[in-house]
Chain A
């Protein structure tokens, strides 16, 4: 049985899709059979971030409506063997998804995969609720900013009430906090919320902290998940996040501002 993980946030633009792609890649690089599903029907982005937009023929909506088989819609990642992508439809809207249809797709994928990542759309409506409904674990992506924290808080309330585990009275969803776009310098100057404030308000386990990094934008535009950029700070931070997700203990990095030494400024300090 696969572990179903939803990547969600409430607020848009905080890095859900980037994080889903990076974590799925990290899980697959460690030998786990992983599939990442784009639930953002109508605004599909995951295929771009994963760099497979030119290979999309069928999508999740086609599978749910019986127009294509699951194996026809799954796209095998070019870089990592164990990784598959199930893209969303760009021409339909979120009403095209049904709870029964999604359940069937997840049940089938569960037999073949170790991890299923559901990349949720923004918002708290049907599409986002469907992405989280069958989840075993949730990664709540939050920026160090007050509106993002409040929206994450709202999503955590929904995870505790509007999911299958909640409705059946089973063990609650395992909730993890992933802080993205963290800039220690701007935290020190008071422009951004600091890590401890966010942890105190949301009161859930911190699974990772991704520093604000040029590597993320570069990765998105190249269609290569940032996990592959192993020398970048963001790539390493996502690798740490994956380690914690599979149960390893890794110390927290990139949360304190470090002055660049003269040497690093002279030799290749530009790549961050």
Chain B
């Protein structure tokens, strides 16, 4: 428990934690190409580029050597902070360490959701996932189901995949998901979908009273919501660069 009644104060404690983290999946190793596309993204959603920590994933690249230093410089120039590199051959690992970045082994096949393709202008194709007919894909890739009331002061997060709440989310509570947020009850607190930038994510609820709604960084406050929609079932999705709320009734 968090009561510190008798304990001596210590300099630090190590704690395991799951933090939401944006993965920047590189489809090109050309720093100039990355720079051009980042500039385009920056003008679309400036709120996203606020010294956001990112993990550079180079799993899709086949090159053993990367101009990692230049890629990092391009990112920093656009207010993205590379903190680690995922995947790549041994020279990539060595240069990541030399730059003071962490290195993660490549992700297991079949995991991970489609994020928006930042690096290429081509249509993003989701990686081939092995067919799992018995499980919905979101649950298989780390979605989360919560049964009960999410109460004021509580935060519920699905760091990958969708979050499903069978119950109400009360005022002062916060629910977040890398994918979509589904609330089978009243949504009175804050709901944030697509927290890693997935613009395809949505928020769905049975009764809308939300303090804040956000999809991929675009948000609306309770004050901005059409009063006629309050108390009704709705879906919230990103429509171009506008957050659209439509009735499900």
User: Least Cβ distance of B190 to chain A in Å?
Assistant: 14
- A150 CB contact (under 8 Å) in B6, B167, B172: B172
**CB-contacts of A84-102 with B (<8 A):** 95, 97-100
How many residues from B make CB contacts under 8 Å with A?
Answer: 17
Query: Could you say which of A100, A154, A203 contacts B152, with CB atoms under 8 Å apart?
Result: A154
Evaluate contact between A126 and B3: CB separation under 8 angstroms: yes
Give B152 Cβ to nearest chain A Cβ, in Å.
Answer: 4
Q: Is B17 interfacial (CB 8 A cutoff)?
A: no
A229 beta carbon closer than 8 Å to chain B: no
Q: Map CB proximity to B onto A200-237 as digits: 1 under 8 Å, 0 otherwise.
A: 11110000000000000000000000000000000000
Contact status of A203 and B171, CB under 8 A, knowing A95-B5, A98-B6 = no
For B1, list chain A residues within 8 Å (CB).
Answer: 99, 129, 133, 162, 167
Give chain B interface residues in 168-218, CB to chain A under 8 Å: 168, 170-172, 186, 188
Q: Are B152 and A97 in contact (CB under 8 A)?
A: no
Taking the closest CB of chain A, its distance from the CB of B212, in whole angstroms, is 16
- Determine if A97 and B149 form an interchain contact, defined as CB atoms under 8 angstroms apart: no
The answer for the CA separation of A97 and B6 in the assembled complex, in Å, is 10
B151 touching A154, Cβ below 8 Å = yes
User: Which residues of chain B come closer than 8 Å to A77, judged between CB atoms?
Assistant: none
Q: Could you tell me if B151 and A157 are in contact, using CB atoms closer than 8 angstroms?
A: yes
Contact mask for chain B residues 1-39; partner A; CB cutoff 8 A; 1 contact, 0 none:
111011000000000000000000000000000000000
| Complex Cα gap A200–B153 (Å) | 18
| Closest B residue, CB atoms, query A96 | B5
Hey, which chain B residues are within 8 Å of A157, CB to CB?
151-154
Q: Digit string of A112-134 for contact with B (CB within 8 Å is 1, else 0)?
A: 00000000000010100110010
Interface residues of B (CB under 8 A from A): 1-3, 5-6, 149, 151-154, 167-168, 170-172, 186, 188
Q: Which residues of A contact B (CB under 8 A)?
A: 95, 97-100, 124, 126, 129-130, 133, 150-151, 153-154, 156-158, 160, 162, 167, 200-203
| Pairs A–B under 8 Å by Cβ, sample size 27 | A97-B5, A99-B1, A99-B5, A124-B153, A126-B5, A129-B2, A129-B3, A130-B3, A130-B5, A133-B1, A133-B3, A150-B172, A151-B152, A153-B152, A153-B170, A153-B171, A153-B172, A154-B152, A154-B153, A157-B151, A157-B153, A158-B153, A162-B2, A167-B1, A201-B170, A201-B188, A202-B149
